[in-house]
A and B are shown apart, each in its own frame.
Chain A
């Protein structure tokens, strides 16, 4: 955890220095593209979006899993995590 905190802290310097020079909603996609060119921005967009989507799949799953456990353990209600995850995802839709 400390190792990750150090790595992220150093990256915080990177992000803040980029943002000082060029504030952007695009974040790392824009910053990497500014330094290494348009193709690198495309690759970054795909890699980063893929990574985020895979990572948030874990959030979607565990939210359903935790809710399923809470409902089963404390209210004796059984609802499969798959259904709960779908409802929570729809609940997040704008």
Chain B
């Protein structure tokens, strides 16, 4: 699977398969627990610990969207990047958002709206599927595995290329910009990326249950990614004011990015406040160390 096009096709096929499997399980949950279908899961007054409670889960929720920006990283390989990237960005966000909200809702309904029962489940979606039909658990596992594997494909496609571009532009050692001879794939960036990820997994997660470690380290990684998102929102008005003043729009280039900065910044602020449970109370310090340490 070398080159962006063939591996992206594999990821797309896996995505369609996993979505179909997840929808089968979700619809089965809604049918089995139809008596608990209501609007309560959308009621903000039911948030445990209010927005502080939301902030604990916010990085993990953002994590589930990471990869939506893949289309922009492939811009230079698209024949019409200006239109193509915009379409890809918004369509991917919309599809994924609708899917996640539907699956999350079905999971909550599958636990009969019991937040405590849901919180005690290691993998809630799979735990909810069990009592409905044992075959659904296998389907849910297969969907989960194909989802994770397609995520690995997509992540290495886009994020190794960011390492590659940083090496090409002199922001990282130039060796990270080396390409394979025939397919022109950034093999050094791929190697660095995968080796570091596997290394982190082994060093910090060897003796930890994989599901528990997944939640903890996904949160930590996403805090750093969300910080970048926050700064990107602040960068847009500055960029357009400086370089595209003739096309500056107060809505698209000022209001919306500032709202975006607030939408990410406020939950992050709640997360870094003292009083969060371990290990989340250490994450803001780690994130600060990465930023300042540079």
Q: Which of B14-22, B23-31, B195-203 contacts A (4 or more CB under 8 A)?
A: B195-203
B149 touches A63 (CB 8 A): yes
Q: Which residues of B contact A35 (CB under 8 A)?
A: 235-236, 238-239, 242
Q: Which residues of B contact A52 (CB under 8 A)?
A: 66, 155, 159, 162, 193, 221, 225
Given contacts A51-B222, A66-B148, contact A2 B42 (CB under 8 A): yes
Q: Which residues of B contact A63 (CB under 8 A)?
A: 145, 148-149, 152
A48 touches B228 (CB 8 A): yes
Given contacts A53-B193, A53-B200, contact A23 B89 (CB under 8 A): no
What is the interface of chain A mostly: helix, strand, loop, or mixed?
helix
Given contacts A2-B101, A24-B75, A70-B141, contact A43 B205 (CB under 8 A): no
Closest to A58 in B: B218
Given contacts A46-B290, A47-B291, contact A58 B236 (CB under 8 A): no
Among candidates B171, B197, B210, B263, residue contacting A41 with C-beta atoms closer than 8 Å: B171
Give 1 or 0 for each of A3-40: 1 = CB within 8 Å of chain B CB.
11111111111111111110111111111101110001
Give 1 or 0 for each of B225-269: 1 = CB within 8 Å of chain A CB.
101110111011011101110010000110011011001100100
Within 8 Å of chain A (Cβ to Cβ): is B174? no
Q: How far is the CA of A85 from the CA of B68 in the complex (A)?
A: 24
Within 8 Å of chain A (Cβ to Cβ): is B93? yes
Give 1 or 0 for each of B56-76: 1 = CB within 8 Å of chain A CB.
001001111110110011111
B205 touches A61 (CB 8 A): yes
A59 touches B148 (CB 8 A): yes
Within 8 Å of chain B (Cβ to Cβ): is A50? yes
Among candidates B156, B200, B239, residue contacting A18 with C-beta atoms closer than 8 Å: B239
Given contacts A47-B224, A81-B210, contact A14 B100 (CB under 8 A): no
CB distance from B170 to the nearest CB of A (A): 9
**Which residues of B from 171 to 223 have beta carbons under 8 Å from A?**
171-172, 180, 183, 185, 187, 190-191, 193-194, 196-198, 200-202, 204-206, 209-211, 213-215, 217-218, 220-223
Q: Which residues of A contact B73 (CB under 8 A)?
A: 25-27
Q: List 17 A-B contacts (CB under 8 A).
A: A3-B61, A7-B260, A34-B243, A47-B228, A52-B159, A55-B221, A55-B222, A57-B221, A58-B63, A58-B215, A65-B210, A69-B141, A73-B141, A90-B194, A92-B153, A92-B190, A93-B187
Interface residues of B (CB under 8 A from A): 1-2, 42, 54, 58, 61-66, 68-69, 72-78, 81-82, 85-86, 89-90, 93, 97, 100-101, 104, 138, 141-142, 144-145, 148-149, 151-153, 155-156, 158-159, 161-166, 169, 171-172, 180, 183, 185, 187, 190-191, 193-194, 196-198, 200-202, 204-206, 209-211, 213-215, 217-218, 220-225, 227-229, 231-233, 235-236, 238-240, 242-244, 247, 252-253, 256-257, 259-260, 263-264, 267, 290-291, 294
